[in-house]
Structure 1
Amino acid sequence: MRTFRAGLLACCLFVALCPPVHAEPAPSGRDVAKAREAVRERSNDLAAASAKLATAQSRLARLTAEVERLVEAYNGEMVRLRNAEQAASQAQARLATADAEVERARQDVALLATETYGGWATLAPIIGMIVDQGGADGRLHRAGVLGQLSGERAAILARLRDTQVVAAILRTEAVNARAAQQAAAESARRAKIAAEAAVAGQRRETQVLQAREHRLQQRVDAARSHAELLARRREAAKLVSGGSAFGDAAANWALTQLGKPYVWAADGPDTYDCSGLTMRAWERAGVRLDHWTGTQWTSGPHVPLDQLRRGDLLFFAYNTSDPATIHHVGIYVGRGLMVHAPQTGDVVRVASIWRGDLVGATRPR
């Protein structure tokens, strides 16, 4: 009979204290906060990618400018190479003239030797002078020969020597100038090719970073849209229900647990402690709480006791001026009453909120 009466009382309390429960709970404050945190995280990723892209674009600009400089340097070397080739052609023409002059001088010397000494036996000193490469012995030799010749003969030999010197100088200048300019042009060409390759590689890297930035921007936009949608749905639910839909759902569910035993550290479905009961009640409303009065106290704004709404959490402390001493929590169901799991040996039941250790109330979100 006593059990029947307890059940009948619980049913009466449930009917009296429960408004209709909304079928589809709106997003919780935690859901909105989590969505906004996703926006922040993705925005940070986007900012990092944008910074890398800016660095890559700056480097690309520097490399492009360097390529332009090297291309122009290469163009300059090619102009100088063409000039050197023209100069070499001109020098080759002068060299041909000089070689012809050397040949004429040699013929004059040979004729002079034949006329003067009469035959090849006496021509050897003169030929030696023609092919002499210098040195002290060479100078003494030339002096001896020249001393034997008349002024006219000495002039002929001197002209041969001078034409040979001029021809050698022209030949060396033509070869060296063109070779040096070819080397400079080749060096400029290699530098240009290397710079163009660096630009191509940097452009590819920049394109990859641009694609990544675009993808991250899309993710940020999607996350922001999702967060805004959740926030709008939550605000709309508050407007429709006066902000009490979540609390009503939590309070209504708590009333369905009346009579279940208190067990320390239990969180249902058959037994509960105080914070286990309130955690499960708000879970039904779509709000996730920890199984601890410490964090449940900070799970939302604190509300004055004259502004309580159904579902608000009521906290009790050893020292009502120090929330750190909170030891118990219940869930407000209206009319100055709460549902709570009191202590070992007791059951989930309805009780008055007005106790001397009441420290305050929190509205989870």
Structure 2
Amino acid sequence: MRAFRAGLLAGCLLVAACPPVDAEPGPSSHDVKQARQTARERSKRLSRTTAKLATAHSRLERLAAEVERLVEAYNGEMVRLRQAEQNHQQARARLAAAAAEVERARQAVTLLATESNGGLGSLGPVVGMLLDQGGTDGFLHRASVLGHLSGERAAVLGRMRDAQEVAAILRIHADSAYAAQQAASERARLAKIAAERAVAGQRRATRELTARKKTLQRRVDAARTRADLLARRREAALAGLVAGGSAMGDVAANWALTQLGKSYVWAAAGPETYDCSGLTMRAWEKVGVRLDHWTGTQWTSGPHVPLDQLRRGDLLFFAHVTGDPATIHHVGIYVGRGQMVHAPQTGDVVRVASIWRGDLVGATRPAP
């Protein structure tokens, strides 16, 4: 009988010393080593990207200077275009005035011809000669002919010829001004395109580099956090084995740490995505404690705990009005050393953060 009792006592001691086979195991040393290696590799990538970013910033400064040059070139072309447009308008106005003067002179010639025996009469060859577009020799001949006409007639015909000469010169000027305007317009168009492309390229390069660095920084932070917490979790697990097993809160906290990096999704409760109360609900579910998927009832799921007496696994609540639990909007699970695991918000992932926030209301220790 004594031998039976001794055997039974030894068996009980063995069971007490060894955790159940389905208990939550701590991470292995290999897990911790691998997590730290991941953090180092991501840090190296971040360093390389940071170096590239510094080089890119230098390039962006040169690009900014080039953008300014192109923008100012466009501004200059616009000034020249406005001047060319003004010159063209003035040339057109002068040409219109000259054309009107030619018309008035032509009417005077027509009247003169009508008065000469009801037609051009002897003035016919002279008018035809005046309308001739010949060169210098023709001009000398016309001047000679006009000299043989009476003073009044010569003056009328001379005025028409002078008006025609002026109109011809101004037409050339107007055509030249129009060509200058068209050339200025094309230069302004090309300068605008170049400036717009440069500005767009500058903005795109800045945006891409900034986004790349932010992404890598988040990944590095997550890797470092995971490596540190796996090390802490292993220490806690090893200590728990020595003490005869982890408490319920430790198991809940340790499980929450395994969910790091998973995306926040509103109203989700795992296994790949979570919101804040979905994560804490699943964590305590691992030790058989049922919680609602709602911060309102999770707040009342057990006794409230003073913040200086927190244990791993305790739930931490945050509210819009810290004196009014009815305004609670967020919950996390305490993992020790002033840190909690939580699912923060849309666009973020499950991660570790300090519990010390301005909207901290208090803590609850869920009870079976």
TM-score category by the smaller chain? Answer: 0.3 to 0.5
Query: Could you say which structure has the greater relative contact order, defined with CA pairs below 8 angstroms and 6 or more residues apart?
Result: 1
TM-score, scaled relative to structure 1: 0.46
| TM-score of the two chains, using structure 2 as the length reference | 0.46
Kindly name which structure, 1 or 2, has the bigger radius of gyration based on alpha carbons. 1
